[in-house]
Amino acid sequence: MAIGPIIIIATKTGHRSSLIGPVLGSIFVQCASRNGTGELFDAAWVTLAHSKLGLGMKHLSVLSFIEDTTEDVNKVKQVLLDYAHWYAGYEVHGDIPYNGPGKLFAQTLDEAHWIIDLCYAYSFVKGKLTKQEKQQIDRGLLIPCAEFLIDHKEQQLHNHAVLITSAIGMLGFLLGDERIHLAGLAGPYGLLDQIDRGVLKDGMWYEGNFHYHFYGYHSLLQYCILVEGTSWDLRAHPALKKMFDFPLHYILPDGSLPSMNDASSKMSIPTLAPYYELAYDWYGDSRYRDLLRLAYGMKSEQASLISEEKVVPSYTAAPAERSSMEALWFGMELNDVDSCGEQLSSKSMTESVSLKQLMAADSSSDISGLTKLVNAKGWHLLVKHSTFGGEHDHMDRLGLSFGAGNEPLFADPGTTAYGVPAHYGWFKHTYSHNTVSLNGKDQPPADGQRLEYGRETWGSWVESAVEWDHEQYRMKDSILLPAEMCPWDDEAYRGSTIRRINVLTDHVLLDIVKVFVPDIRDIDLLYHIHGRMDEVEAWQPFASPVSALDQQWFQNPKYKPFDPEEVLMWQMRTGRLLQAGWCSEPSLLITAATPDNPPNQLRQSLIQRIRGPKERDVVFVHAFAYCANYNGGKASESAAEFDLQLNVQYGDEGRLRIGVETEAAQYDWSLDWTEGKAKFIESSS
C-alpha cells in the first residue's frame, strides 16, 4: 500500500472535517430534517443515521491512525462498544423480496455495506483496544454480524452476493477465524466462486453494465485491501486486473462509459479515478496513469488529448479533486517518473496503447457481447449483443446507443432511481430501447451473438444476432429470477430471429435489421431520439395502444404510412440528425413523446411497424448522418448543404445493394445474407 504526499496535505491543512465526515451528533442533526412522521419515516431516518455513522467511523479511524490522536480513537472505540452492547439483541426483520432480511437494517445488503465500513474502523483502532474491549466488540458485534450474514448469503451469482461474501471474509480475517473467513470465500456462491464464474473471461461482470461492474468490484476491492500482503492476497488473481482493463476499452470519446441496463448514474473518467488510484499502485499500467492524469485535469495530458484529432472535440469533463480515500492510501506520483523517482523512458511510456488511443478506437468482444465503433468525428456506436444479465437486465438484445461526442443522438439512458415509477414501468422494458419488439412485448432471456466484426479502409462494421429457439442462456443455472421479475412473453418470440448489421464511416451510420417470425406478429423497430422531428407532412392521431406497456408512457402518439422517399430531419441540442429509411414490406411509422432520463424530460420515439408475414424475412435499412453546425434552427453554410440519400435494391433470397450519399461522401455496398454469416462488401465511387 503506497501512502504518498497527499497525506501530508491532508494532515497539515487542518481540513479535519473532510476526513472525519459526518460523525456522532452531527449525523442526527443532518437527518432530523424530515417532512413526515410514522414508522416508515423513522426507519428511513435511522437507516441513514447508521449508514453515515459507519462511514464516519471509517474516516475518523483513518484520521486517528495518521495523526495518532487519542481523542479520535476513543470516539471510534465508543461507537464500536455501543454497537457491541446492542447488536446481538436486534431482531431479524425486513426480508425485502429478493434482498433478504436485516438486523440493524431492513435488508442483508445494507447490513453488509455498514459492517464493511466498521471493519475498517475496527482495523485501524484494533491496536489501541484493551483485551476486554476487543472481546466485547468481537463477541457482541463482529461475530453476531458474521453469523447473520452467513445465514443469509445469496445462493446465486449477483452483485449483492459479492458484497455480502466480501463482508463475511473481512469479518473472518479481522477475527482470525478461518471458519468464518472461508464461509465468505469458499464454496458455491462464495466470493471466489463469484469471481470465477461471475466475471467473464474478458473481465466484464456478467450483469452487463458498468455501473454494477464497479459496484460489485468496489466491495471485492475492500476485502482485497484489507488482506493485502497476507496469505489471502488476491491481487494475482487474473480476473482482478481484467476487471480494471476491460472498461478502458469502452470509454467513449467524451470520457463517459455507456449506460446500459440498471445503470442509474453516469460513470466517467473523473468518477473512475478512485478505482484506478488503487489499480495504478497494484499493477503499474501506464493506461491507469493516463486515466488519473486526465481525471485530475493535469495540463500535459489535456494538451495531449486535444492534439488527437479523433478524441479531441468530445472530452469536456471538469477535473476531479484528488481527495478520495483511495488516493490517500494508494496515490502514486503521476508525473513522468516511476515509483522509484526515476524518469520514465520513452519506451516504457509508449509500450502499451494509451488511454486516449483506446477512447478513439473500436472495441469488440464476443464474450461480454459489446461492440464500440468510433469514427474520426467522435461519433460512437455501441451495439449490445450480450448474454442475458439477470435481475438488472433490460431485455434489449441487439440494442444500439449512438452519439456524437457528448451529444446523445439515440442512446440508452440506463434507468432512474428504483423507487421512481418509470423504472419498472418504462426503462426496464424492451420498448424503451433502440432494438426490435414483437407484439409490443418484452424479449425473453436469450444470449446475443457477435457473428462478425470488420475494420475496413472506409470504416467499421459488426453483425450480431439473437434467436429464440430454446429457453437456455448462459447464466440460467446461476441466477434466481422470481416470477414477479419476469415480464416477458415467450410466445411472442418463440421461433423468431433478429440479425443486425451496423456500419460506421466518417460520414454515415448504417443500420440493417432482418427479422424472421414463424407466424403473423407485429414487428416494431424502435428508435428513441434525443431531439425533435421536423414534421413535414401531417401525422394522424394514433388511437390504438402503442405497445403492451401502460399507455401513460406515450404522449401524443401519431402515425402515418412509411414513405421511403422521405428523409426525416431531427433537431438535436447542438446539431441536426438526418434519417433515411427503407423496408422490404409496407410499414407504418408511429411517433410519441416518451420518458428520457431523468423522466421529467422527454425523448421522441419513432416506431416502424410491420404486420410480420409468416415465415418470411423482413428487412429494414436506415441511414443516419449528423451535422453539428446547426443550432437553434439556423444552419451554417455547410449545414445548408447537408443532405442524405438512401437507395436500396432488394434481390432474391436476401441479397441487397445499398447506396448511401451525403454531401461529403458516397458509398455503395452489396450484402449477401443468404448463408450463416453476411458477406458485406463496399466499393466507393
Q: What is the pLDDT of residues 106-131, one digit of tens each?
A: 999 999 999 999 999 999 999 999 99
Reduced to 3 states (helix: H, G, I; strand: E, B; else coil), residue 465 is: strand
The answer to whether 171 and 180 have CB atoms below 8 angstroms apart is yes
Predicted pLDDT at 139: 98
pLDDT tens per residue across span 410-435: 999 999 999 899 999 999 999 999 99
Assign 304 a pLDDT band (cuts: 50, 70, 90).
Answer: low
Assign 205 a pLDDT band (cuts: 50, 70, 90).
Answer: very high
Predicted pLDDT at 16: 34
CA distance 670 to 651: 11
pLDDT tens per residue across span 597-622: 999 999 999 999 999 888 889 999 99
Q: Can you read off the three cell numbers belonging to residue 579?
A: 434519417
The answer to whether 139 and 129 have CB atoms below 8 angstroms apart is no
Residues 6+ positions from 381 with CB-CB distance below 8 Å: 372, 373, 374, 400, 401, 402, 502, 504, 509
Predicted pLDDT at 383: 98
Of 13-22, 262-271, 595-604, minimum mean pLDDT range: 13-22
CA distance 318 to 29: 32
Of the two residues 28 and 169, the one the predictor is more confident about is 169
Share of the chain above pLDDT 90, in %: 78
> Does the pLDDT value for residue 319 go beyond 80?
yes
Assign 337 a pLDDT band (cuts: 50, 70, 90).
Answer: low
CA distances, 487 to each of 159, 399, 429, 483, 525 (Å)? 22, 18, 8, 8, 20
CA distance 564 to 583: 8
- Mean pLDDT across 643-672: 92
Assign 17 a pLDDT band (cuts: 50, 70, 90).
Answer: very low
CA distance 297 to 303: 10
- Mean pLDDT across 572-581: 95
Assign 313 a pLDDT band (cuts: 50, 70, 90).
Answer: low
Q: Can you read off the three cell numbers belonging to residue 555?
A: 404522449
Assign 674 a pLDDT band (cuts: 50, 70, 90).
Answer: confident
pLDDT tens per residue across span 477-514: 999 988 888 999 999 999 999 999 999 999 999 999 99
Place of cell 434489449: 396
> Does the pLDDT value for residue 305 go beyond 60?
no
* Sheet strands (E) in 138-277: none
Assign 351 a pLDDT band (cuts: 50, 70, 90).
Answer: very low
The answer to whether 335 and 283 have CB atoms below 8 angstroms apart is no
Q: What is the dihedral of CA 644, 649, 654, 655, to 10 degrees?
A: -100
Give the chain's end-to-end CA distance (angstroms, integer): 59
Predicted pLDDT at 603: 97
Reduced to 3 states (helix: H, G, I; strand: E, B; else coil), residue 194 is: helix
pLDDT tens per residue across span 213-243: 999 999 999 999 999 999 999 999 999 999 9
Predicted pLDDT at 13: 30
Of the two residues 131 and 354, the one the predictor is more confident about is 131
Q: How many residues in total does the chain contain?
A: 685
- Mean pLDDT across 629-638: 50
> Does the pLDDT value for residue 641 go beyond 60?
no
Of the two residues 475 and 31, the one the predictor is more confident about is 475
**Average pLDDT of the chain to the nearest whole number:** 88
Reduced to 3 states (helix: H, G, I; strand: E, B; else coil), residue 198 is: helix
Question: Could you tell me which residues are beta bridge partners of residue 464?
Answer: 450, 500
CA distance 288 to 272: 10
Assign 35 a pLDDT band (cuts: 50, 70, 90).
Answer: low
Residue 598 CA to chain centroid, in angstroms? 16
Of 177-181, 611-615, 632-636, minimum mean pLDDT range: 632-636
Task: Specify the DSSP class assigned to residue 300.
Answer: H
Q: Can you read off the three cell numbers belonging to residue 55?
A: 462511514
Residues 6+ positions from 369 with CB-CB distance below 8 Å: 208, 384, 385, 386, 387, 447, 448, 449, 450
Q: Can you read off the three cell numbers belonging to residue 127?
A: 491496536
- Mean pLDDT across 318-347: 76
Predicted pLDDT at 264: 83
- Mean pLDDT across 582-608: 96
CA distance 489 to 608: 20
CA distance 649 to 351: 47
Predicted pLDDT at 352: 58
Predicted pLDDT at 38: 85
> Does the pLDDT value for residue 582 go beyond 80?
yes
Of 92-96, 192-196, 382-386, 568-572, minimum mean pLDDT range: 92-96
- Mean pLDDT across 36-49: 86
